[in-house]
Each structure stands twice: as C-alpha cells, then as structure tokens.
Homo-oligomer: A and B are copies of this chain.
Amino acid sequence: MKIQYAEMTNHLGSSAVRDILKVTQGKDIISLAGGLPGEELFPLEAVRDAYNRALSGSASSLQYGLTEGYSPLREAVAARLTRQGIPVEAGDMLLTTGSQQAIDLFCKVMLDPGDKVLVEAPTYLAALQVLNSYRADIITVDSDEFGMLPEHLEEQLMLHRPKVLYTVPTFNNPSGGSWSKERRERTVELCRRYNVLILEDNPYGEIAFDDAPGAYPPSMAAIDRSSGEDPCVVYTGTFSKIVAPALRTGWIIGPSGLIKVIARAKQAADLHSSAIDQRALHELLLHFDIDAHIRLISREYHSRMKLLAGELSGERWQDASFQEPRGGMFLWLKLPAGTDTARLLPFAVEQGVAFVPGEVFYAAKPLKNAMRLNFTHTPPELLPVAVRRLEAALESYGRTLAGAVDTLV
C-alpha cells in the first residue's frame, strides 16, 4: 500500500515537543523542558473524592452527553469567569479536551489555507503547529516587554487584512512576559476596527505571584466585554494548570454564533469530551476550595521561580539576561548573541538537564540564543543541580566550539 496523505500532513511541522517529551522521559535527566505542573502539588485526594461523587448518582452519568459539555460545569465556569471580570452565559461557552482543542476547533472553523493570522514572537509552539496544519499565513507583529507595538500592529492589520490575532498576553509561553493594560486596550480597539477576532489564550493567568489587588491588568476579554460593543475577543482557559492536565478539560467563550459553529465542528470531531471528567470537575468545584489551592501552588511556583532566578544570577551568568516572570510556569533566558541553544541542547542532555531551545517558538526569524526554562515541574532541591548541569553543558559546548574554530584555522 502506498498511502497518499492529505496536503495538511506536509504542514504538521516538526514534532519538536514530542522529541522533547521523549528526552524528558530519560530517568537521569532533570527536565526544565516540558510545560508540566508540579505533580506533588496535584490535589489527588480531592480529585479521587470528586470522581467518587460524580459516579455515585444514577447510571445516566455514563450516558452520551451534550456536545457543548456538562451544563452544571459550564455554569460554574461561567460564574467564575464572571467573577473574574468576564461576564459570560453558559450558553456562550463550550467545554473542550483541554484548551488545545479549543485552539484547534477555533482555527478549524475560521481558517482556510492562506488566511492571515497575526501572532507575537515568541509564541506558543503548539498554536503555531495548529495554524500551520490549517495552512494559515502566519504574520509576526513586533513586541516589546509591554506587548505588541501598536504602530506595527496597525501596519500589519492594514497591509495583511488578517482574520485572527492569536496571543498569550498573560505569563506568556515561552517568554513569561505580560502585556500592559494600555497595550491590551489598544489591541482590542484596533482589532475591532479592522474586524479581526482575537484569540486570547489564557492557561496561566491564575498562576499569579503577586496577590495584591490590582497587581495585574484585566484580561483582554474583560476589556472587550466592558466596552459595550460586540465582543471581538474569543477566550480560552483550562483546568490543566490549576487542577491537573490528565482531566483534559478546557473551555472557549465567544460570540454566540461562533460558539454554535464550533459546537457543530466538535460534534463531527468527537461528539463530546469526557463527561466523567467534567462531572468530577463540577464536584471538585463544589467541595474543594480551588481558590485556596491556586494560591498554594502559585506561592510554591513563585518560590521555585525565585530559586531558579537566584541560581541564574551568579557570576557565571553575567552575560545572560532574563526578566523575572510575575506568574505562570516559564523563565525565558537569553544567552550572549552567537550562542545557539539548539546546538547547546545535546550537550545539556549529556550533562543530564533539558530545556527547550527558543527558536521553536517563532513563526519566522527565530531568536537563536534563548531558551525556555520551566520552573514548576522540577522539585526545588533539584533546581540548583539543574543549573550546575547547564553550566557544565555551556562549558563543553564552548570548548567544542573553540575546538571547531581551531580546526578551521
């Protein structure tokens, strides 16, 4: 059999994330690569109780459910979002298999080959994979530490007439950065003017290190929905980071018409996501103080980030730079220009430490000398060990480079 695949298979991209995950499965490697939460913080007992309760009612809990998801959970999530400044009805929400599926279904119903999509750089790798799989034309908007530059954004809007802008404006994956309130407002305003839907992907927003009120700007969805205009922000979130990934439950909210179209696409894609996970999450929200749990993990992740940042501030790291993230799961480390982190990776793995080379997070013109470091998965006592191993890797990488130069001479 000679299988002739669809054209899309030529655009599925390299499977960098998978290769990375495979590397992290090596037993002696400390992985700062995966975007994984800390396992020892999972509320295992509360989750087990929640499944027990979810399965203690009638057998109809095991029947087929609605494509849109289990209604009581949709209502509970809608109420949480409303409390977070994003007023939404359960009817304008769809539950998905993680927020990854929300991104995929949104792109599926929005994008034909060649349609233009604006992204920031760097941005979420698996979103780039989805955009590529639908053969979108991905266009980068220049950013600084406060978000996309409005002048360049407007230029790209006028020039390319994109359909969609995709962003992770809060505790970005991979950069850890967050957009300012002004840039959020300006972006919403410009996108509305140019009839562009914004997909605000917010898996990390609740992992916030500063719990003073008003410490962070509102989400773009909140800004959008307080404007009194038709919503132009589609918003996704997930329980993966605040409860656990294995439950595979995310959500997408947006204009009613769009949510209905996505529901039809989801019906063809899988009928519905796990109804048992959704019932268990609903029970969890009823019987477990999820906000206290989020404060607990945020405090712990904050202290791990501080520990990693401290280790990266020693004398041997004088030529490197980073901004301390104010939340989320990642620290974006820049090495001196000329360093190629993709070529550094095998040296790191040999020393027993893994990271993600920065270049994979760019649609074009990748930064070669950055790397993404995850600080949530590794137990704190191993973070200094990981940094020592990185140092050793840099040393042998430098020696090899010097050797190569010698050979050339």
Q: Which residues of A contact B (CB under 8 A)?
A: 1-9, 12, 15, 17-18, 21, 34, 36-37, 39-40, 42, 44, 47-48, 51-52, 55-56, 58-67, 96-98, 100-101, 104, 108-112, 115, 126, 129-130, 133-134, 163, 192, 195, 197, 230-232, 240, 244-248, 255, 257-258, 261, 264-265, 267-277, 280
B44 touches A129 (CB 8 A): no
Question: How far, in Å, is A262 (CB) from chain B's closest CB?
Answer: 9
CA gap between A66 and B280 in the complex, in Å: 22
Report B-chain residues with C-beta under 8 Å of the C-beta of A4.
110, 163
CA gap between A55 and B134 in the complex, in Å: 37
Question: How far, in Å, is A189 (CB) from chain B's closest CB?
Answer: 13
CA gap between A240 and B271 in the complex, in Å: 12
B44 touches A97 (CB 8 A): no
B271 touches A273 (CB 8 A): no
Report B-chain residues with C-beta under 8 Å of the C-beta of A98.
270-271
Number of copies: 2
**Given known A63-B39, A246-B274, contact A268–B108 (CB-CB < 8 A):** no
A62 touches B34 (CB 8 A): no
A67 touches B97 (CB 8 A): no
B64 touches A34 (CB 8 A): yes
CB<8 Å pairs between A and B, sample of 10? A5-B109, A7-B112, A8-B108, A9-B264, A40-B59, A97-B97, A97-B273, A100-B268, A104-B268, A248-B273
Q: Which of A52, A134, A267 has the most chain B CB atoms inside 10 A of its CB?
A: A267
CA gap between A55 and B37 in the complex, in Å: 18
